[in-house]
Amino acid sequence: MRPEYFKLWAWLCIVSVLWAAGCGKDKPPVATDKHKIAGIVSALSDAWRNPDSFQRLFVEGAAPDVKQRPRFGQYSFELKSTSAEGERIIATVIAREVQTGDPVGELQWTLVREGDQYKLQSAPLPGG
């Protein structure tokens, strides 16, 4: 092989390797279903302040009434685990008092998929 061809070939190999090594690094991480559900669960303790935001977390007609909404602000919520039950997802949620951070119980919330999103079907609070 002539030296001028060898240099060209070596240069092309180096450029190809560098280009391939840089591909795919800028892709954003894909949220898994569990991450999406965890986001909904944790958002609920703040969403009670805004009626529209609160309603959007629930399937149509399932959001607690106006009198119940402020009770969601008394707690922070953390997803412990999920399990599938047919078309529904059962989320085990840990509720903590906002002021003390003390756990007050485990709750069973139900979610369903609407398109590419999950929405709450039921989200009972501690003590009913």
Give the domains, in start order, of the chain with CATH numbers.
Answer: 32-122 (3.10.450.540)
60, 114 contact by CB (below 8 A): no
Question: Could you report the per-residue pLDDT of 48-68, keeping only the tens digit for each?
Answer: 999 999 999 999 999 999 999
| Secondary structure (DSSP) of 91-109 | EEEEEEETTT--EEEEEEE
- Pick from 124, 84, 122: nearest CA to 107: 124
The model's pTM = 0.74
Task: Give 107 or 20, the one with higher predicted confidence.
Answer: 107
